[in-house]
Amino acid sequence: MNRLSSPQELEALRESIVRNRDTRRRCLTICGGTGCLALGAEELIAAFRSEVESRGLISGVDIRVTGCPGFCERGPLVVIEPENILYQRVRPKDVAEIVSETIVSGKIIDRLLYVDPNTGQKAVHESEVPFYKKQLRLLLADNSRIDPNNVNDYIALGGYSALVKAIFKMSPVEVLEEVRKANLRGRGGGGFATARKWQTTRDAEGEPKYVICNCDEGDPGAFMDRSLMEGNPHSAIEGMLIGAYAIGSNEGFIYVRNEYPLAVLHAETAIRQAEECGLLGDNILGSGFSCRISINRGGGAFVCGESTALMASLEGKVGEPRAKYIHTSEKGLWEKPTNLNNVETWANVPLIINKGADWYRQIGTENSKGTKIFSLVGKVNNTGLVEVPMGMTLREIVTDIGGGVPKGKKLKAVQTGGPSGGCIPESMLDIPVDFDELDKVGSMMGSGGMIVMDETNCMVDIARYFISFLEGESCGKCVPCREGLKRMREILTGITEGRGEEEDIERLERLSETLMDSALCGLGQTAPNPVLTSIRYFRDEYQAHIRDKRCPAGVCKALITYSISDKCPGCGLCIKTCPQGAITLVEKKKPVLLDQEKCIKCGACYDVCRLDSVIVK
C-alpha cells in the first residue's frame, strides 16, 4: 500500500478501487461476526472457498467475509450480490448447492430463504425481511458491505472523506460546532452532549490531550460496540481522528476488552492499514495534523467501562473509579484533559461531518438525534442487533422488528439499558425510545441492551439476577455499593426462596435510595434501577412471593411444584429425561406418576413435554 500524501491521492485511490470493481460480478458476502462464527461460519467460509476453487470459479466470484449485519438469530448469514439474495442458517452442506444453483445457474434455493413466522411469506432479499424493513441502518448497513480487514472496502464507500473534509476544509472549532448543532449525545450510557465534552477537553489546560474510544462493553447480552469494532473499525477510527482534530489532541487509545478477540484483531489490522495509507499517524494526508492511536486491552472487569476506572486501568493501575467532581475532560488519563466516547458515538461523527448537522437533526426526537443500535435479546423471535431512529416505540422494536414473543407467550416487560436499567411493563411499551423518555419511566438508554421478557419470567428473580451480577462486578471500593448490593441480593434471594418478609420491600427501597445518593460511581448509583422498577410495576409479584409464598411465573424453585395433568397419555418422554428418576409409568396410556420427594424442580420434564401435560404451580 502506497502512503497517501494528499486528499487528491485518497480520492484517486477511491476512484481506482471503484473503477476496477465489476458491479455485475458475483460476490458471496458471508457474515464473519462473532455470532455467526459461533454458529459455524468458519467452516462455511472454508467450504465456500474450496467449492469456488474446485469448480474453477475463482476468477468470476468474490468471497467477502464481513462483520455482523445484525440478524444473529438466523445466522450464519450469506448474501449473494449483486442480486442481494439472502440465505439464512446456511450450513457447509448447503455450499455445493448454492454454488451450482444460485451462483452458476442463477436459481433461488427456497429452503434457505427467510420465512416470516407470522405470515408464512418468504423473503428473497434482505430488504424484504421484516427484521430489516423498519430499521434505519446508518451505521450497521456498512457492516455487510465491508471486509473489515481491507481498508480499500471502507475507502471505496467514501471512507475517510469526512476526515478530509474536517481537516482540510474546516477549522477545529467549525467541526465542534457541527457536532454541537447535530446534538450528538453519548451512546455509552449517560447521553451526555458530545460537543460539550469535546469543548471542555479542548478548553482545559494541560498538554497533551487524549481521546479514548471505549469498547469495554460488558452488559450481559449486549454487543453493539463489539459488532461495530469487528465489522467497521475504520468508522470509529475516523470519528476519533475528527474528534482529536477538533479537541487539539494527537494521541488516542482504543480500550477494548480482551474477551472480544475479533474486535481486538480487526482494530489492530485497521490501525496498521490506516497508518500504511497515511490516514493515521504523522502528517495525515499531508495536512500537518498528526494523531496516533493505540490499542489497550481490558481485562474484563465490568466496572472498567466506567470512564475513570477505564483510565486507571489504561494507566496500569487497578481499574477502580474515582470521584468525578473534577471531570476527566479536565483531568483524565495521566491527569491530562481526556475525551472519552464509546464506539457507537465515534462512529456517528463521520456521518455528521459528511452529511451535515442539518441532515442529522432530521432523524430522531427533539433532544435525541440520530439512530441508536440496540441489542435485542431474550424472549423475542428475532434476536440480534437493530438500529432504529430515536423515537421509535418499544412496541415497534419488539413486535415489528423483533417479531414478537415466541411460542405465543405473553409479553411481560422489556428491560433496557443493561444490568442497571429498568424493567418497563408491557402497558408502557408505546413510549418512544429516546434518552429522556426512558429516564422518565425509571429506566435508561444505557449502551443499548434490550431484553424482552415474557410471562414465564419472574420479575423478582430478574431483579435478583441483575443485582447479583452487579454485586459480582462491584469493585468494592465504596461501602454502599459493596455492602449494599450484597444486602439487596440477600433480601431478593430470600424472597425468591420463600423467606421474604413484609418489610423487605421497604428495606430494598431504603438501600436503593442510599445507593443512588451515595455510591461513588455510576455502577452503584444506577444498580437499584431493576429493583425499583420491578417493585414499581410488578409489586403484586413481590407480594405473591412474600405473602402467599407463590411465584406466579413459575420460576422460583422453592415456591413451585411440578405436577402431571390428567390429560397425560403416558408417552414416557419425561421419564427418560428426568435426571432423578422421579417419574414412573403406572399403566400404559395413563398419566405418569411424579414423586415429589425425588423431584428437584429442574423443569426438564416441562421442557420436554410436547402436550403441555406437565403443570407448574
Cis peptide before 552 (omega within 30 of 0): no
* Contact residue for other proteins among 288, 323, 407, 587 (CB under 8 A): 323
Tell me the closest approach of the beta carbon of residue 87 to other proteins, in angstroms. Answer: 45
Q: Which is nearer to other proteins, 335 or 607 (CB)?
A: 335
Tell me the closest approach of the beta carbon of residue 467 to other proteins, in angstroms. Answer: 12
Binding pattern to other proteins, positions 243-282, x when CB under 8 A? Answer: ----------------------------------------
Binding pattern to other proteins, positions 516-545, x when CB under 8 A? Answer: -xxxx-------------------------
Residue 546 binds other proteins (CB under 8 A): no
Residue 474 binds other proteins (CB under 8 A): yes
* Contact residue for other proteins among 484, 528, 552, 570 (CB under 8 A): 484
* Contact residue for other proteins among 477, 499, 536, 557 (CB under 8 A): 477
For residues 392 and 438, is the Cβ–Cβ distance under 8 A?
Answer: no
Tell me the closest approach of the beta carbon of residue 483 to other proteins, in angstroms. Answer: 4
CA gap 405, 593 in Å, rounded = 32
Number of residues that bind other proteins (CB under 8 A): 31
Residue 475 binds other proteins (CB under 8 A): yes
CA torsion sign, 582 to 585 to 586 to 591?
Answer: positive
Residue 1 binds other proteins (CB under 8 A): no
Residue 326 binds other proteins (CB under 8 A): yes
Tell me the closest approach of the beta carbon of residue 407 to other proteins, in angstroms. Answer: 37
Residue 478 binds other proteins (CB under 8 A): yes
Question: How many CA atoms does the CB half-sphere of 68 hold within 13 Å?
Answer: 31
Residue 306 binds other proteins (CB under 8 A): no
Q: Which of residues 62-121 bind other proteins (CB under 8 A)?
A: none
Tell me the closest approach of the beta carbon of residue 458 to other proteins, in angstroms. Answer: 24
Question: Would you call 590 helix, strand, or coil by DSSP?
Answer: coil
Tell me the closest approach of the beta carbon of residue 365 to other proteins, in angstroms. Answer: 25
Q: Which is nearer to other proteins, 381 or 512 (CB)?
A: 512
CA gap 251, 336 in Å, rounded = 12
Q: Which amino acid is at 594?
A: L
CA gap 246, 239 in Å, rounded = 11
DSSP E strands in 162-291: the ranges are 210-215, 251-257
Residue 188: CB atoms within 10 Å: 24
CA gap 186, 196 in Å, rounded = 10
Grid cell, residue 349, equals 461523527
Residue 218 binds other proteins (CB under 8 A): no
Q: Print burial letters for 489-512: b (CB count within 10 Å at least 16), e (below 16).
A: bebbbbbbeeebeeebbeebeebb
DSSP calls for 457-525? S-HHHHHHHHHHHHHHH--S-SHHHHHHHHHHHHHHHHHHTT---TTHHHHHHHHHHHHHHH-SSHHHH
Residue 149 binds other proteins (CB under 8 A): no
Q: Which is nearer to other proteins, 282 or 513 (CB)?
A: 513
Tell me the closest approach of the beta carbon of residue 510 to other proteins, in angstroms. Answer: 6
Tell me the closest approach of the beta carbon of residue 106 to other proteins, in angstroms. Answer: 58
The contacts of residue 105 (CB under 8 Å, 6+ apart) are: none
* Contact residue for other proteins among 165, 507, 549, 557 (CB under 8 A): 507
* Contact residue for other proteins among 473, 522, 582, 605 (CB under 8 A): 473
Which bin fits 221, alpha (ψ -120 to 50), beta or left (φ > 0)? left
Residue 305 binds other proteins (CB under 8 A): no
Residue 569 binds other proteins (CB under 8 A): no
Residue 482 binds other proteins (CB under 8 A): yes
Q: Which is nearer to other proteins, 205 or 325 (CB)?
A: 325
Question: Would you call 134 helix, strand, or coil by DSSP?
Answer: coil
Residue 327 binds other proteins (CB under 8 A): no
Q: Name the pairing type of β-strands 251-257 and 292-298.
A: parallel
Q: Residue 604: in which H helix or E strand, if any?
A: helix 604-608
In terms of Cα–Cα distance, which of 468, 484, 186, 531 is closest to 345? 186
The contacts of residue 436 (CB under 8 Å, 6+ apart) are: 367, 368
Residue 40 binds other proteins (CB under 8 A): no
Residue 600 binds other proteins (CB under 8 A): no
Query: Contact region for other proteins (CB under 8 A) — 111-119, 363-371, 480-488, 597-605?
Result: 480-488
- Applying CB under 8 A, the residues found at the interface with other proteins are 301, 322-323, 325-326, 471-480, 482-487, 490, 507, 510-511, 513-514, 517-520
